[in-house]
Amino acid sequence: MFRRGKFSFLTSKDDRIKIINERINLTERHLMEMCSAFSMLTRKMAKYRDAHDELAKHIKNYADEEEINESLCNGLKSFTNALTITGDYMDINVKRLELKIVNELAHFEQLCKSTRDNLRLAVIARDKEVLSQRQMLELKSKFAANNTAADSELFKTKLEVQRTNKDIDEIISGFEQRKLRDVKQVLSDFILIAMKQHTKALEVLSASYYDVCNIDERDDFLQFQKLMKTKEEPAATRKSTLKKGLRSQSMESLDHNHLSPLKRQQKLSKSTKNLTGAGISRANKQEQSEEDDSELDEEDDEEEEEEDSEQSAEEEDEEEASGSVSDDEGEQGMPLENVFGAKARSKESASSTTALKPVVRQPVKHPFKAVAATHVRLQKQFHVPHN
């Protein structure tokens, strides 16, 4: 690449420049490969971040729609927050990698190119000075009498050669030092970025792990069973209400014959109200109620006539019994009169009358009949015969 010229004393310098060129090429090739690899890693991490966000979105939708398992819902929300935060850390990590890793490695391409160009220019300048130095030496050997001018020119060329060699050394050493420093900084930055991301993610994931472990499986299962029971209860309640309705209808039909006229009238009035609700006209309802009232009045009249006939028969029997007892007492002796002018009964006559008259209680079929029977008994007890 560089011209050696025809000088044997430049071989050592040319070998060193060859080694430096190889080092520059090696550094450029490997650092560019590292840069492409880091850029690919950054793109993969960006996709990984997007996948984290998509996963957090789906889990959040599940947590929002979950209404039965409360602890599971809380665990899903905590896990969603953890994924969102770790996704944010990944986003910061991607930006840091792009800024501090990929861009720094990309600068090495320009650095290697500029170093190579500077080295080439320095070598060319050095070769010129070496060539002039050689010419001065040849002139000095030819003109040995006048050496002052040649010696001064030779000294200047030597100084220029030394300066160019020094520039070459500075270019080589500067490139090597910067390469080492930048590579070290890039690797340390990558490690620090990864450590920051993983430490923050570890804190968040530790808290999320605690929340996920607090999911109460038994409580959530009991809530599910309770919900299933509440769904089954309406069918059971409907069946029970139907059974109760059928039973009440059967009991009403059985108790209909044992109701008093007043209660029957109330039942009839309720039935007429129900019929009016079903769509029966008012005229039909009034006719039906009038017919029911007339039937009830006829039944009450018949019952009253029967009671009057029974009372009259009982009074006749009592009068006959009292007449016979008074005749017997007249034969034995005259009884004392009481304050009201009636003759007092003797103990024997009272006992005989009570013995002769058995008390017969008729079965009470009706509340009104029971009241009438008690009234008749009271009249019999306090009945006082007149002279």
SS (H, E, C) 281-315: CHHHHHHHHHHHHHHHHHHHHHHHHHHHHHHHHHH
**What domains can you pick out in the chain, each with its CATH number?**
8-214 (1.20.1270.60), 321-357 (no CATH)
Angle at 243 between CA 240 and CA 244, to 5 degrees: 85
Placement of tokens 């090739």 in the chain: 29
List Cβ neighbours of 147 (8 Å cut-off, separation of 6 or more).
140
pLDDT digits (tens, 9 = 90+) for 342-359: 444 444 444 444 444 455
Strands (E), 93-199: none
How many angstroms from the chain centroid is the CA of residue 75?
10
Element (H, E) at 162: helix 148-213
Mean of pLDDT values over 181-206: 92
The pLDDT of residue 60 is above 80: yes
SS (H, E, C) 218-244: HHHHHHHHHHHHHHHHHHHHHHHHHHH
Say how many C-beta atoms besides its own lie within 10 A of residue 266's C-beta: 12
Mean of pLDDT values over 77-83: 91
Mean of pLDDT values over 66-95: 89
5-19, 125-139, 276-290 — which is least confidently predicted? Answer: 276-290
Whole-angstrom distance, CA of residue 211 vs CA of residue 208: 5
The pLDDT of residue 175 is above 60: yes
The confidence score (pLDDT) of residue 122 equals: 83
Whole-angstrom distance, CA of residue 17 vs CA of residue 164: 13
Confidence at 81, pLDDT banded by 50, 70, 90? very high
Mean of pLDDT values over 5-32: 73
pLDDT digits (tens, 9 = 90+) for 134-159: 777 776 676 665 667 667 777 777 78
Placement of tokens 């620090």 in the chain: 192
pLDDT digits (tens, 9 = 90+) for 291-325: 555 555 566 666 666 666 666 666 655 555 454 44
Burial level of 314, CB count in 10 A (0-12/13-18/19+)? middle
Q: Above pLDDT 70, what percent of the chain?
A: 53
How many angstroms from the chain centroid is the CA of residue 354?
89
The confidence score (pLDDT) of residue 189 equals: 93
Residue type, 351: S
Whole-angstrom distance, CA of residue 365 vs CA of residue 256: 14
Query: Model-level pTM?
Result: 0.52
Whole-angstrom distance, CA of residue 143 vs CA of residue 139: 6
Q: Above pLDDT 90, what percent of the chain?
A: 17
Indicate the DSSP class of residue 63: H
Burial level of 82, CB count in 10 A (0-12/13-18/19+)? buried
How many angstroms from the chain centroid is the CA of residue 125?
80
Whole-angstrom distance, CA of residue 187 vs CA of residue 104: 11
Where is pLDDT greater, at 387 or 220?
220
Placement of tokens 């991607």 in the chain: 94
Confidence at 101, pLDDT banded by 50, 70, 90? very high
Tokens of 373: 């029977």
The pLDDT of residue 226 is above 60: yes
